[in-house]
Copies of this chain bind each other. A is one copy, B any other.
Amino acid sequence: MRDGGGDHARRGAAAGVAPLDFFTVVDTQRALRRFRPEPVPDAAVRRILSAATRAPSARGAEPWFFVVVRETATRAAIATRYRGAWEAGERVTAATDADRDLRGRPHYARMMRAARELAADLAAAPVLIVCCLDHRQLGPIAGPDGTLLSPVAAYASILPAVQNLLLAARALGLGTTLTTLHKSFEHDVKALLDVPAAVEVVAIVPLGHPADRFGPTRRKPVAEVAFRERWGKPFVADGGGGA
């Protein structure tokens, strides 16, 4: 059932990377938060955004926009606020011990260190992709004033596109991580980028040639998170469904 892969494969290869099969990409995509300084060509950004726009959206409305930020001053302005938001978040998390459920996990400390390093210098990423949701294109999902009547349906019209973006970057050998920390300074981001009032900034994705390697990623086994017919009834009888 290999249908018309040739064109797409060549297009991937045009960006200088041999085409990877789908499961290799999905199984090895992970947050990569440290970047090498080399620039990312426009052609790669364009291919990644094209993949993003293949995602589904409610009513087929495609209510997404992407602002590609390369300018040093703009990245620095966002990075300063991002660092502030990170530090405020760390204080709240510490004060309420909000990560107590995760501290014991093997990779928690390493992940938090990497996230903190990124927060200290978000502008180290040569590109920031600012992912936006236009509330005016949500039809019955938003009220006349833009209020989300079904937040799930609204975010299901932008976050799948963001995931496509992360995967497409990985397919081209480029690192990313999905961040939403800007929500506490969204107003400033919108002012910096001239984003209209009715448009929400949903995610900021730093993009660049990664300093670290892709996966394979470690995750809970399928046996721990999948049920058959109803909650609590194992889907994987032998408990060995982690692959």
Q: Does A196 contact B (CB under 8 A)?
A: yes
A28 CB to closest chain B CB (Å) equals 7
Interface of A toward B, CB cutoff 8 Å: 1-5, 8-9, 11-12, 17-31, 42, 45-47, 49-51, 53-56, 58-62, 64-71, 74, 89, 92-93, 96, 98-99, 101-102, 105, 107-108, 111, 137, 139-140, 150-153, 155-156, 159-160, 162-164, 166-168, 171, 173, 177-178, 180, 183, 192-196, 199, 202-203, 213-217, 219-220, 222, 225-232, 235-236, 241-243
Smallest distance from the beta carbon of A221 to chain B beta carbons, Å?
8
CA distance A241 to B193 in the complex (A): 22
Q: Please tell me how many copies of the chain the complex holds.
A: 2
**Residue pair B225, A64 in contact (C-beta under 8 Å):** yes
- The answer to whether B167 touches A167, judged by C-beta atoms less than 8 angstroms apart, is yes
Which residue of B67, B160, B236 is within 8 Å of A227 (Cβ)? B67
